[in-house]
Amino acid sequence: MAITIDTQSAQYQQYLNGLQNLIDFYKPKLALFEKLPKDKQKLWLQKDPLLRKFLKVSLWLAKWAAQFSQEVEND
């Protein structure tokens, strides 16, 4: 079964740009987030549904992606 992903399509590029925008948006916020005590982090997560979803996806990806760690080490 061949899988074809058109990385040049407008939709793919939109997703790629959207992901970069999300990273750019949250990077400075996460620097602050990680310095907070755990109770303040939990409160922030309760009030920020986008961060909760981003965190959920990140946890799922980290668990799944661990099997590919050697393949992407030098990327």
Entry field: residues in the chain: 75
**Domain locations in the chain?**
37-65
Backbone angles phi, psi at 17, to 5 degrees: -65, -40
3-32 average pLDDT score: 95
pLDDT value at residue 49: 96
pLDDT of residue 50: 94
CA atoms of 53 and 60, how far apart (whole Å): 11
pTM of the model: 0.68
What is the Cα–Cα distance from 9 to 5, expressed in whole angstroms?
Answer: 9
Contact 33, 41 (CB under 8 A): yes
The pLDDT of residue 75 is above 60: no
pLDDT in tens, 24-70: 999 999 999 999 999 999 999 999 999 999 899 999 999 888 888 77
